[in-house]
Amino acid sequence: MISSLHINGYRGFQRLDLSGLGRVNLLVGKNNSGKTSVLEAFHLLTSRGDPTALWQVLWRRGERFQIEQDPRRPQIDVDVSHLFNGHELHVGSKFKLATKNETPEKWLTFEVAELSPKEQTELFGVDPDTAGSVPSQRFALQISGRPTPAVQRIALSRQGGVSSESLNSPHILRHRSADPAPTQYIATESLTGTELIALWSKIQLSPHEELVLAALKFLDEDIERIAAQVSTQPYYNPTPRAGFIIKRKGSEYPIPLGSMGDGMWRMLTMAVAITQSKGGVLLVDEIDTGLHYTAMEAMWRLIFRAATEFEVQVFATTHSYDCVHSLATLCIDSNDAKNGITVQRIEAGKNKAIPYSENEIRLAAERNIEMR
């Protein structure tokens, strides 16, 4: 389990240290303080710098640009410059992420490097000594760390981009880890129906289904069953909220889960994702999205129980007082002050997050002390 995180040069942080991390960790702070960036740092680090995780981090924020090489097939690249402090991309641009754990320290470094002609040939498959074939790309994102990343170089275009085609290059596919770390990242818009169905196929007809059903019952106690539904019609176009149906008590016909509102979809996403993070990390941005304040205490109880059962470490963000207070209620109701629940307050311009232990969370809630 991760006990601390150290960030150097990533996005808005020249440096940030988080310490005293536990089983369930809630990141709080004002807008633009860097809470989402911290979640991304965990994502990159726990995935060992996997290029797919890198692509997802940039794509989610819309950090991409279109290259008009062929009007019929425009190429869209993600822009890696935004990963570096100051949004500057040049040879030597670098950021480092590190953790301390019960096992040896883990660290990961991304650095922009200029390639030699030989390295260009190896990475791009072009011989620069051949007349007229000097490669247009001369730079790469070098990835190093402990444990050694499966992919150690990613090609960059002259504009500083990474294309989806480059992620499927023989170089990347040959070295990519076949067994990535069990990390699930849930953005504010939750997972799509397609993503959820892929995860659901791994727990269908298993005891994990009961946990998912229990999570939905927190919001609607009349729900009796849930099932995935995939249409084979040629006109079917998947939407972000499609793919699941529920059976409610007293209703003869099933109802699309998407009809039940954002909170229901959010709870489904978290319940399914945590079962697929066994022994790893669950990251949730704005965990309270779509949930009424009366459901948040039940949500935290579900998250904590499942995190303990599946040995998952949870990191989540919020702006909501109700979300923080609900977590505090969980601490107040527990007689054990060593459950591993923390609140981490991140402040713009500060090098260290302010950690609140369970006792401090409990005391702050009882005295109405602001932790956000």
pLDDT digits (tens, 9 = 90+) for 344-359: 999 988 999 999 988 8
pLDDT above 60 for 129: no
> Given 218, 249, 276, which residue is the final one in a domain?
276
CB 126, CB 148: distance < 8 Å? no
CB atoms < 10 A from the CB of 58, how many? 21
Same domain for 133 and 200, yes or no, is no
Helix (H, G, I), strand (E, B) or coil at 238: coil
1 falls within a domain: no
CA separation for the pair 324, 139 (Å, rounded): 44
Same domain for 121 and 191, yes or no, is no
Mean pLDDT of 178-191: 80
143 falls within a domain: yes
Same domain for 58 and 161, yes or no, is yes
pLDDT above 80 for 306: yes
18 falls within a domain: no
pLDDT value at position 76?
Answer: 82
CB 290, CB 261: distance < 8 Å? yes
168 falls within a domain: yes
pLDDT above 80 for 337: no
Confidence of residue 134 (pLDDT cuts 50, 70, 90): very low
pLDDT value at position 133?
Answer: 45
Specify burial of residue 61 (Cβ count, 10 A radius: 0-12, 13-18, 19+): middle
3-class SS shares of the chain: helix, strand, coil, % to 5: 30, 25, 40
43 falls within a domain: no
Confidence of residue 152 (pLDDT cuts 50, 70, 90): confident
pLDDT above 60 for 116: yes
CA separation for the pair 98, 7 (Å, rounded): 7
pLDDT above 90 for 177: no
Q: For residue 352, what is the DSSP state?
A: B
Q: Which two tokens stand for residue 22?
A: 């536990």
With the CA atoms of 143, 145, 149 and 155 taken in that order, what torsion angle do they form, in degrees rounded to the nearest 10? 0
Amino acid at the residue 156:
L
Of 37-46, 70-79, 174-183, 309-318, which range is least confident?
Answer: 174-183
80 falls within a domain: yes
pLDDT digits (tens, 9 = 90+) for 16-75: 999 999 999 999 999 999 999 999 999 999 988 888 899 999 999 999 887 766 666 667
41 falls within a domain: no
283 falls within a domain: no
Total tally of structural domains belonging to the chain: 2
CA separation for the pair 192, 240 (Å, rounded): 4
For helices 262-275 and 193-200, the axis angle rounded to 10 degrees is: 40
Specify burial of residue 26 (Cβ count, 10 A radius: 0-12, 13-18, 19+): buried
Identify the domain containing residue 237 by its residue range: 183-276
Same domain for 197 and 244, yes or no, is yes
